[in-house]
Amino acid sequence: MTRSAQRVVGIVVLVVLGLLTLPVVAYFADTGDGDGTENWIIPVALLAMAVIGAALAIALPGLAREGASTGRRALTGVWWGLLGLFVGLVVFWFLLNGLDAGGA
Protein backbone atom coordinates (compact mmCIF):
# COMPACT_ATOMS: atom_id res chain seq x y z
CA MET A 1 0.00 0.00 0.00
CA THR A 2 1.39 3.41 -0.90
CA ARG A 3 2.04 6.10 1.70
CA SER A 4 -0.82 8.25 0.42
CA ALA A 5 -3.23 5.31 0.53
CA GLN A 6 -2.10 4.54 4.09
CA ARG A 7 -2.73 8.16 5.03
CA VAL A 8 -6.22 8.18 3.50
CA VAL A 9 -7.17 4.88 5.16
CA GLY A 10 -5.76 6.04 8.50
CA ILE A 11 -7.56 9.37 8.44
CA VAL A 12 -10.89 7.80 7.47
CA VAL A 13 -10.56 5.20 10.25
CA LEU A 14 -9.68 7.87 12.81
CA VAL A 15 -12.59 10.14 11.86
CA VAL A 16 -15.06 7.24 11.98
CA LEU A 17 -13.69 6.13 15.35
CA GLY A 18 -13.76 9.76 16.48
CA LEU A 19 -17.47 9.80 15.71
CA LEU A 20 -18.07 6.61 17.68
CA THR A 21 -15.71 6.96 20.63
CA LEU A 22 -17.57 9.53 22.70
CA PRO A 23 -21.01 7.85 22.47
CA VAL A 24 -19.51 4.43 23.26
CA VAL A 25 -17.56 5.75 26.25
CA ALA A 26 -20.64 7.66 27.43
CA TYR A 27 -22.77 4.52 27.17
CA PHE A 28 -20.46 2.63 29.51
CA ALA A 29 -19.43 5.48 31.82
CA ASP A 30 -22.72 7.31 32.39
CA THR A 31 -24.61 4.97 34.68
CA GLY A 32 -27.18 7.61 35.62
CA ASP A 33 -27.06 6.90 39.35
CA GLY A 34 -25.17 10.09 40.22
CA ASP A 35 -21.90 8.41 41.20
CA GLY A 36 -19.78 10.92 39.22
CA THR A 37 -18.62 8.59 36.44
CA GLU A 38 -19.95 11.00 33.81
CA ASN A 39 -16.99 13.24 34.67
CA TRP A 40 -14.70 10.60 33.13
CA ILE A 41 -16.32 10.48 29.68
CA ILE A 42 -14.15 13.09 27.96
CA PRO A 43 -10.81 12.07 29.55
CA VAL A 44 -11.42 8.40 28.69
CA ALA A 45 -12.42 9.30 25.11
CA LEU A 46 -9.25 11.41 24.74
CA LEU A 47 -7.08 8.61 26.09
CA ALA A 48 -8.78 6.00 23.92
CA MET A 49 -8.30 8.00 20.73
CA ALA A 50 -4.68 8.79 21.62
CA VAL A 51 -3.97 5.08 22.04
CA ILE A 52 -5.87 4.16 18.88
CA GLY A 53 -4.04 6.87 16.92
CA ALA A 54 -0.64 5.71 18.18
CA ALA A 55 -1.39 2.09 17.32
CA LEU A 56 -2.68 3.03 13.88
CA ALA A 57 0.35 5.19 13.10
CA ILE A 58 2.66 2.34 14.08
CA ALA A 59 0.67 -0.04 11.86
CA LEU A 60 0.42 2.46 8.99
CA PRO A 61 3.77 4.27 8.68
CA GLY A 62 2.29 6.56 6.01
CA LEU A 63 0.65 8.64 8.75
CA ALA A 64 4.09 9.93 9.85
CA ARG A 65 7.07 11.34 8.01
CA GLU A 66 9.08 8.93 5.93
CA GLY A 67 11.89 7.37 7.94
CA ALA A 68 10.41 8.31 11.33
CA SER A 69 11.29 6.06 14.25
CA THR A 70 8.62 3.97 15.94
CA GLY A 71 8.41 6.38 18.88
CA ARG A 72 8.03 9.35 16.56
CA ARG A 73 5.32 7.53 14.58
CA ALA A 74 3.49 6.75 17.83
CA LEU A 75 3.64 10.39 18.94
CA THR A 76 2.43 11.54 15.53
CA GLY A 77 -0.38 9.00 15.80
CA VAL A 78 -1.43 10.41 19.16
CA TRP A 79 -1.94 13.80 17.53
CA TRP A 80 -3.75 12.25 14.55
CA GLY A 81 -6.02 10.40 17.00
CA LEU A 82 -6.85 13.55 18.93
CA LEU A 83 -7.53 15.38 15.68
CA GLY A 84 -9.77 12.51 14.57
CA LEU A 85 -11.70 12.78 17.83
CA PHE A 86 -12.12 16.53 17.38
CA VAL A 87 -13.32 16.20 13.77
CA GLY A 88 -15.62 13.35 14.78
CA LEU A 89 -17.11 15.44 17.58
CA VAL A 90 -17.71 18.39 15.27
CA VAL A 91 -19.41 16.16 12.68
CA PHE A 92 -21.45 14.44 15.40
CA TRP A 93 -22.51 17.81 16.80
CA PHE A 94 -23.67 19.01 13.37
CA LEU A 95 -25.53 15.74 12.80
CA LEU A 96 -27.35 16.18 16.11
CA ASN A 97 -28.05 19.91 15.87
CA GLY A 98 -28.14 20.67 12.18
CA LEU A 99 -27.52 24.02 10.59
CA ASP A 100 -30.09 26.62 11.55
CA ALA A 101 -29.12 29.99 10.12
CA GLY A 102 -32.50 31.62 10.73
CA GLY A 103 -32.75 31.28 14.49
CA ALA A 104 -36.23 31.40 16.11
What whole-number distance in Å separates Cα of residue 94 and Cα of residue 100? 10
What whole-number distance in Å separates Cα of residue 96 and Cα of residue 90? 10
Please check whether residue 58 lies inside any domain of the structure: yes
What whole-number distance in Å separates Cα of residue 75 and Cα of residue 53? 9
The domain tally of the chain equals 1
Please check whether residue 92 lies inside any domain of the structure: yes
Please check whether residue 33 lies inside any domain of the structure: no
Please check whether residue 53 lies inside any domain of the structure: yes
Indicate the pTM of the whole model. Answer: 0.83
Please check whether residue 83 lies inside any domain of the structure: yes
**Residue 58 structural domain:** 3-15+42-97
Q: Is 5's pLDDT higher than 60?
A: yes
Please check whether residue 25 lies inside any domain of the structure: no
Cβ atoms of residues 64 and 76 within 8 Å: yes
Please check whether residue 84 lies inside any domain of the structure: yes
DSSP code of 67? T
Question: Over the stretch 44-88, which tens digit does the pLDDT of each residue have?
Answer: 999 999 999 999 999 998 888 888 899 999 999 999 999 999 998
Please check whether residue 30 lies inside any domain of the structure: no
DSSP code of 66? T
